[in-house]
Amino acid sequence: MGIDYSQLHDPNAEYTMRELSAETMGVTRERGGGRDVEITDIQTTMIDGNFPWTLVRIYTDAGTVGTGEAYWGAGVPELIERMTPFLQGENPLDIDRLTEHLVQKMSGEGSIGGVTVTAIAGIEVALHDLAGKILDVPAYQLLGGKYRDEVRVYCDCHTEEEADPDACADEAERVVEELGYDALKFDLDVPSGHEKDRANRHLREPEIEHKASIVEAVTERVGDRADVAFDCHWTFSGGSAKRLAERLEAYDVWWLEDPVPPENHDVQREVTQGTTTPITVGENVYRKHGQRRLLEEQAVDIIAPDMPKVGGMRETQKIADFADLYYVPVAMHNVSSPVATMASAHVGAAIPNSLAVEYHSYELDWWADLVEEDIIEDGYIEIPEKPGLGVTLDMDAVEEHMIDGDELFDEA
């Protein structure tokens, strides 16, 4: 018999001065109009995609169900099980209060950052889907309405010969011409054959020239048919990142992503302010608090929160609002299934400074099969007018691609 994570003992969760439950806060007034709904259960199912996606379902006494998704990773289902008792009996329409309620209840278990925030985000996305269905409005309407009918998608591209500039250029042209994308991203933290030590973060000049050759080949091949970004995955030292960014100033780089590790904001600021190559950061910091210094200190040209990782849909909107104070656009990092991808698109529709949403699964031929609706067409996501997120899980596909040993959550 497995562990019942909902019954774990945590004094911080059992007693907190900032208790935000409906009972403690006195939120008891009847709402009417079909809005007197209570959460009865929360369940998860993990999908074995190119990342282990955790799908989240919230059930209610009215029979209405909301579906969301947390950022991938171990421990998320257990944390969601842990938090389920905190939401049972609550009205799912109080999204902000319930999200903050979970942050407070889980403060002793890491709700400042990391996988606990990820688990909360998955619940928060499901709450938006559920609230939209209860109120009969699309999720973007819950965020204040929309600025655009469709959201641009950038395709994260890969090739078996990822260190070969010509192979990367060939793949870029194929994705543009055959798949219809006008926004791409390639990895730059690839072996060049010139490395001396993979641990010290230093780039030798031949390595920089190799990376510049990839950038040159890809950007010149696609020309003005597509914008192209390049990802470094937090790999290089500050000095090496500066030299690389300066070397790439000669090319039409949409952005250079995560050139240095995320912990030291001072180094990040120096790199960004020392080059005209646009620098993008944000997927590895949590909630609006984590993004604050990046924006206040102008340490980033484009902010890249990952919606189901950073804290959810409204948290991402709050980050976007803060970014807009500094005239910084938002390019949402996204490695999700169709569920959180569509949720990110709803956020992208509702914020003024949306640049694009990432798509990281173009090599996974069954990605789109997880839902009944079409998601991406010609490099864009059209925002649905159906209630909630506007996507319907294909339960047969979900069951087929479940992680071995997991259980399928109940049907809606």
pLDDT of residue 363: 94
pLDDT in tens, 348-366: 999 999 999 999 999 999 9
The reply to whether 56 and 155 lie within a common domain is no
Those residues of the chain that have pLDDT short of 50 are: none
CATH number of the domain within which 204 lies:
3.20.20.120
What pLDDT, on a 0 to 100 scale, did the predictor assign at position 5? 85
Alpha helices for 274-361 (secondary structure H): 287-296, 307-310, 313-325, 338-350
Report helix, strand or coil for 141. helix
Where do the H-state alpha helices sit in 88-237? 95-105, 115-135, 139-142, 165-177, 205-222
Instruction: Read off the CATH number of the domain in which 119 is found.
Output: 3.30.390.10
One domain, residues 269 and 322: yes
pLDDT reported for residue 2: 80
The answer on 295 and 174 residing in a single domain is yes
Question: Residue 1 has what pLDDT?
Answer: 55
The reply to whether 353 and 407 lie within a common domain is: no
Same domain, 271 and 149: yes
Element (H, E) at 270: helix 265-273
Statement to judge: residues 57 and 79 lie in one domain: yes
Task: Give residue-wise pLDDT tens across range 228-283.
Answer: 999 999 999 999 999 999 999 999 999 999 999 999 999 999 999 999 999 999 99
* Residue 150 vs residues 29, 232, 357: alpha-carbon distances, Å: 38, 28, 11
Report yes or no: 147 and 177 within 8 Å, Cβ to Cβ.
no
Q: Which residue has the tokens 């500039």?
A: 165
Global pTM?
0.96
CA distances from 18 to 29, 97, 103, 342 (A): 21, 11, 10, 33
pLDDT of residue 11: 75
Beta-carbon count within 10 A of 140 CB: 28
Q: Are strands 150-156 and 380-382 parallel, antiparallel or unpaired?
A: antiparallel
Q: How many domains does the chain have?
A: 2
Domain limits at 1? 1-137+390-411
**Burial zone of 411 (CB within 10 Å; 0-12 exposed, 13-18 middle, 19+ buried):** exposed
- Which residue type is seen at 151? V
Domain match, 157 and 306 both: yes
Same domain, 7 and 131: yes
- Whether 300 and 399 share a structural domain: no
